[in-house]
């Protein structure tokens, strides 16, 4: 199968299923004249990066950093969703989607001077499967499910084989989690890959990495192999990017207005007037993937009862969450996939707010109001804990409002905020009543990653034959329309079985000073700084 045919099969999935453009310029766009090289962009992150290794990166704030130092075999055009060349200049896919053969671009090198070869592809994928494992790199590992190995056919040709069809793989290799790193990095154990000395082939390199405080990236001299989706050829325009961790949104906005920062993450509604008063703007785009929501542990407490899980769906007023906490740049969740995701199905009819319906559902299931208003059944209170972190600045306020909404129908939601490391540990050990998070990816296969028995399985569930068949089916189906039908079925079954209680869709809201142009969103709503430039007077 030629590259042209591969793009038709896999890229058309996103185009045909209406992936809305999310690669718009997030800079000011008001500068006269051509882009000017040089300068340092000062960027305010809302939380500290968790790991400098792209394969292990989990939060958006981390991926804003790691995306810049690593290139991928393919890229995904943010405007159309088509899969386009990057480090691979062409590829072939077997009819059964078990074998992917990549022809690499010649002349590419990692920042330590070593060349990119087919052996590099082999060592990167082998390391994810055998060294990092699913606990360290759950997304990367899920993309390589069924991986049997990479064969070096010649120095620039790598064949990647799976023991089962893997229809999502061309899109997966466009993600930073499967970006390619030098041998000096892939040979390290997982923990050593988080210390800021990772070596990629990307347009920027790590100049300084201070865990929990700041990261400085430097332009890679001689970079000449950018993605076909990039806006220009050659080196990046910026000389450096200084990422600084500024947890308070008001401080980030104030620093942007005073000229101490050039761009900031998670600009909240109350920040917008201050940013705009300084001549800046807030650029937004919705994240594809699984929207923010509650994932119940089906083995603990009252969430074992499917009637309770079903009652939670109408008990949450999602529009109130958006209007009260977030503002118009955000959307209420309308299904188990976010609206920008290929194969998304609008299930808002199942997610309308109806507190009376929630009460009736709980009444029928035998959960009766107690003296304090919280329902009880067989001596047990309808109470559960919700474990979350502050990966998104609005999480605490959103969940406090959800807590109030659920109490109105007799449900006691206990909020359990934890640091990132503890969150990961408890997620891996299934030590929670329920989790709250989102996962970003511009492919409907994120449902398999999130809800599949061989994926994260945060529900700690057993077999659900209809759902398991749909998730297995989409993975082996290369026809876009047939794959979309299977993903449609899977989305409905996730809600029908109470595996996800959606709340809001995550949007990136980036405050940008008037001196910055062309910060761009890539297909998965992460930032791309290759085309960014400064026009300070």
- Reduced to 3 states (helix: H, G, I; strand: E, B; else coil), residue 174 is coil
Query: pLDDT-based confidence at 134, cuts 50/70/90?
Result: low
The two structure tokens encoding residue 424: 């990961």
Indicate if the pLDDT at residue 424 is higher than 90.
no
Query: Cβ neighbours of residue 13 under 8 Å, at least 6 residues apart?
Result: 81, 342, 343, 443, 480, 483, 484
Q: Does the structure show a pLDDT above 50 at 360?
A: yes
* Residues 86 and 173 both lie in one domain: yes
Instruction: Check residue 421 and give its pLDDT.
Output: 85
Q: What is the pLDDT of residues 155-204, one digit of tens each?
A: 999 999 999 999 999 999 999 999 999 999 999 999 999 999 999 999 99
On whether residue 12 sits in a domain, the answer given is no
The reply to whether 280 and 319 lie within a common domain is: no
**Segments forming the whole domain that contains residue 86:** 40-285+509-534
What are the φ/ψ torsions at residue 425 (nearest 5 degrees)? -65, -45
Same domain, 302 and 188: no
Residue 31 in any domain: the answer is no
Q: Which of the four pLDDT bands, split at 50, 70 and 90, describes residue 27?
A: low
Shared domain check, 530 and 424: no
**Encoding tokens for residue 191?**
């923990």
Cα–Cα distance for residue pair 201/182, rounded to 1 Å: 8
Q: Can you give the pTM of this predicted structure?
A: 0.85
Query: Per the structure block, which two tokens stand in for 185?
Result: 């990095």
**Residue range 285-298, pLDDT digits in tens:** 999 999 999 999 99
Residue 349 lies in a domain: yes
Please check the confidence at residue 21 and state whether its pLDDT lies above 50.
no
Residue 298, in any domain of the structure: yes
Q: Is the dihedral of CA 506, 50, 27, 515 positive or negative?
A: positive
Paired with 203 in beta bridges are: none
Same domain, 408 and 364: yes
Do residues 435 and 312 share a domain?
Answer: yes
Nearest alpha carbon to residue 266 among 525, 30, 517: 525
Mean pLDDT of the chain, nearest integer = 92
User: Which pairing describes strands 40-45 and 263-264: parallel, antiparallel, or unpaired?
Assistant: parallel
When pLDDT is averaged across residues 107-134 and rounded to a whole number, the result is 94
Could you tell me if 420 and 312 lie in one domain?
yes
Note whether 435 and 516 are same-domain residues: no
CA distance 145 to 129: 9
pLDDT in tens, 494-529: 999 999 999 999 999 999 999 999 999 999 999 999
User: Could you tell me if 223 and 340 lie in one domain?
Assistant: no
Residue 522 lies in a domain: yes
426 torsion bin: left (phi>0), alpha (psi -120 to 50), beta (else): alpha
- Which stretch of DSSP H or E encloses residue 98? none
User: Distance between CA 42 and CA 204 in Å, rounded?
Assistant: 15
* pLDDT per residue as tens digits for the range 324-359: 998 888 999 999 999 999 999 999 999 999 999 999
The count of structural domains within the chain is 2
Residue 205 phi/psi, 5° resolution? -130, 160
Q: 256 and 138: one domain?
A: yes
User: What pLDDT does 139 receive?
Assistant: 87
Q: What is the CATH number of the domain that holds 453?
A: 3.10.105.10
* Residues 296, 310 within the same domain: yes
Quick one: pLDDT band at residue 12, thresholds 50, 70, 90?
A: very low
Quick one: tokens of 379? 């001596």
């Amino acid at each position: 199968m030629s590259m042209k045919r591969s793009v038709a099969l896999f890229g058309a999935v996103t185009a045909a299923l209406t992936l809305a453009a999310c690669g718009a310029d997030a800079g000011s766009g008001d500068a006269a004249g051509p882009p000017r090289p040089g300068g340092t962009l000062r960027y305010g992150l809302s939380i500290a990066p968790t790991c400098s290794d792209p394969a292990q990166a989990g939060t958006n704030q981390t991926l804003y950093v790691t995306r810049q130092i690593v290139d991928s075999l393919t890229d995904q055009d943010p405007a159309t969703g088509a899969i386009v060349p990057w480090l691979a200049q062409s590829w072939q896919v077997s009819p059964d989607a078990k074998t992917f053969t990549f022809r690499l671009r010649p002349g590419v090198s990692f920042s330590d001077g070593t060349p990119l070869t087919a052996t590099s592809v082999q060592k990167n994928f082998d390391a994810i499967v055998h060294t990092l494992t699913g606990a360290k790199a759950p997304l990367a590992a899920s993309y390589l499910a069924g991986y049997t190995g990479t064969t070096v056919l010649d120095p620039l040709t790598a064949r990647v084989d799976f023991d089962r069809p893997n229809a999502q793989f061309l899109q997966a290799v466009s993600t930073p989690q499967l970006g390619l790193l030098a041998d000096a990095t892939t040979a390290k154990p997982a923990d050593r890959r988080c210390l800021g000395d990772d070596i990629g082939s990307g347009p920027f390199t790590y100049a300084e990495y201070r865990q929990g405080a700041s990261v400085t990236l430097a332009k890679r001299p001689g970079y000449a192999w950018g993605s076909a989706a990039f806006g220009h050829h050659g080196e990046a325009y910026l000389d450096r990017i200084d990422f600084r961790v500024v947890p308070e949104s008001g401080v980030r906005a104030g620093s942007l207005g005073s000229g101490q920062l050039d761009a900031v993450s998670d600009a909240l509604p109350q920040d917008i007037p201050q940013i705009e008063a300084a001549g800046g703007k807030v650029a937004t785009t919705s994240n594809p993937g699984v929207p923010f929501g509650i994932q119940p542990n089906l083995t603990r407490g009252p969430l074992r009862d499917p009637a309770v899980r079903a009652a939670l769906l109408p008990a949450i007023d999602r529009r109130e969450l958006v209007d009260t906490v977030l503002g118009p740049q955000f959307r209420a969740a309308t299904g188990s996939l976010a609206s920008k995701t290929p194969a998304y199905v609008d299930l808002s009819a199942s997610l309308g707010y109806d507190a009376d319906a929630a009460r009736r559902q709980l009444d029928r299931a035998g959960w009766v109001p107690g003296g304090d208003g919280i329902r009880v059944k067989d001596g047990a209170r309808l109470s559960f804990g919700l474990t979350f972190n502050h990966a998104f600045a609005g999480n605490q306020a959103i969940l406090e409002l959800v807590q109030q909404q659920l109490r109105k129908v007799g449900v006691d939601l206990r909020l359990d905020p934890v640091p990132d490391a503890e969150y990961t540990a408890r997620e891996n050990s299934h030590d929670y009543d329920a989790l709250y998070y989102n996962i970003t990816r511009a492919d409907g296969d994120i449902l398999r990653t999130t809800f599949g028995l061989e994926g994260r399985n945060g529900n700690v569930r057993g077999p659900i034959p209809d759902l398991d068949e749909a998730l297995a089916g989409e993975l082996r189906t290369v026809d876009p329309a047939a794959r979309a039908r299977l993903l449609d079925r899977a989305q409905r079954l996730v809600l029908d079985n109470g595996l996800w209680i959606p709340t809001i869709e995550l949007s990136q809201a980036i405050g940008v000073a008037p001196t910055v142009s062309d910060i761009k969103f890539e297909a998965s709503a992460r930032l791309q700084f290759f085309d960014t430039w400064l026009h300070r007077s």
